[in-house]
Amino acid sequence: MFRPMIAAAALSAGLAFGAAAQDFDDAQVEAFATAALAVQDIRETYAPRLEAAGDPDEQAVLMDQATAEMIAAIEAIPQIDVDGYNAIATATATDPELASRVVETMESMDR
């Protein structure tokens, strides 16, 4: 159920996904930001490979690989899991304050 959401969020553009900002503490936002940056890196790795894929079957295999890597990356981050990641991602679409917190946190991270 969450796989299409992760793949769509990660392989299309940016954050998109309803709870209030106060529902997520700073540690959760930081964990989300860390995970989102990891997902972004995976997306950037797979995007050219997906574009170059010769057929839909090859694209499907690549999407499955990318999704598995995204899930593993999210689950490797303490204080967040895939459900928590999706909850925060969803909330950023309707909560500008939370979206700002996430962006500020991501921008402050030393990459």
CB contact set of 38 (below 8 Å; sequence gap of 6+): 70, 73, 74, 76, 77
The amino acid sitting at 107 is E
Q: What is the pLDDT of residue 2?
A: 39
Say what the pLDDT of residue 90 is: 96
Over residues 51-102, the pLDDT tens digits come to: 999 899 999 999 999 999 999 999 999 999 999 999 999 999 999 999 999 9
Nearest by Cα to 20 from 82, 79, 83, 88: 88
pTM of this structure? 0.78
Rounded distance between C-alpha atoms, residue 2 and residue 43, angstroms: 16
Share the mean pLDDT of the chain. Answer: 85
Average pLDDT of the segment spanning 3-30: 58
Q: Provide the CB-side half-sphere exposure for 71 (13 A, CA).
A: 13
Six token digits for residue 105: 């946190």
Q: Residue 7 has what pLDDT?
A: 41
Q: Which stretches does DSSP call E strand in 7-104? A: none
Q: Which residue has the higher pLDDT, 4 or 28?
A: 28
